[in-house]
Amino acid sequence: MLDRLGAEARRTVGALVVDGFFNSASRLALLHPQARPARHAVEHLRDIRYEDGSMREHLLDVWRPARHTTPQPPPFRRYEGPPWPILFYVHGGGFRILSKDTHWIMGLSFARRGFIVFNVSYRLAPKHRYPCAVEDVCRAFRWVMENAARFGGDTSRVVLAGESAGANLVTSLAVALAYDRPEPYARAAHETGVVPHAVVPACGVFQVSDMARFKRRKPRMSAFIADRLHEVESAYLGAAPARDGSLDLADPVVFFERGEKPARALPPFFLPVGTRDPLLPDTRRLGAALRALGATAEEAYYPGELHAFHALVMRRNARRCWEDTFRFLDRHVPDRRSISP
């Protein structure tokens, strides 16, 4: 009993430390002069609601190239000029922390390279367990497809991207778009008819159930890391339903490994991950499962790097990862133009 209480206390303290670190780091980084969108010819539109109600989790931000826009009252400035390819971004945080606001660097980085970015928040666990997050992501995607044109987005050129838990969610969204699923929210996404040009799920957790598999694989894993992995499963799934297919959109790699033929073509996947990321085996599994289905899947491994290393854009391997990502998108997204000064 005491051991169990001690483990729970350790996990609680560890979770608070991680949450505080990422939120503080994001706020401090915003103070840097290079964080100002105008320095990169980028416009940032904040807190646009994609779902009726008053929840802050049902908001998204738009990051877009600022050239060729006409000043009008926000948030719906009418875009003038050729439309930009859409990048639909979903943040990470183990399904339980962080938001679009902590992931502003992703919106800025993709927008300055020629995308209009819809950076989405969603309901967080454990208050809102699976499938709330993927339900929100599917509904946000449908909203974006219905509204992107007035922001300057081209719905014929769409990329899905996210990291960690966000990588799981955009991969599950890709499942909903490619397969005719029974869930109402998955059908809502599928009915858009969109086939993405690419998916970029970085350092993803692609199976949320049985997170203890990572500890079994590496018995000497630190208690701190093992606790964080345990939190992902316990917070998101809780008392999970039986594994009879109802976890398909929490465990997309397991779904792909079953080998079911999609109703629509699977998009190309770019899968970056650090070699010291405890989640690395999921990236290998996903790449292999996608290729077995005939899809393009390119893994990229960055020596010595930890989880979500690419967010630290000052690091050499992070910059390399971003450039590798953009080269991949150059090959798969037609007529993409950089606006970098």
Q: What pLDDT is recorded for position 169?
A: 99
Summarize pLDDT for 15-35 with one digit per residue, the tens: 555 565 555 555 555 545 567
DSSP 79-135: B-SSPEEEEEEE--STTTS--TTTTHHHHHHHHTTT-EEEEE----TTTS-TTHHHH
Summarize pLDDT for 155-202 with one digit per residue, the tens: 999 999 999 999 999 999 999 999 999 999 999 999 999 999 999 999
Cα separation, 325 vs 86, whole angstroms: 15
Least confident of 10-14, 20-24, 129-133, 227-231: 10-14
Summarize pLDDT for 32-84 with one digit per residue, the tens: 556 788 888 999 999 999 999 999 999 999 999 986 544 444 444 455 556 99
Least confident of 22-31, 82-91, 239-248: 22-31
Length of the chain (residues): 341
- Domains detected in the chain: 2-332 (3.40.50.1820)
Is residue 121 a contact partner of residue 132, using CB atoms and an 8 Å limit? no
Is residue 97 a contact partner of residue 124, using CB atoms and an 8 Å limit? yes
Mean pLDDT of the chain: 89
The two structure tokens encoding residue 299 = 């893994």
Least confident of 89-93, 215-219, 224-228, 331-335: 331-335
Which has the closest alpha carbon to 268: 200, 189, 179? 200
Q: What pLDDT is recorded for position 36?
A: 83
- DSSP annotation of 320 reads H
Q: What pLDDT is recorded for position 70?
A: 46
Q: What pLDDT is recorded for position 6?
A: 52
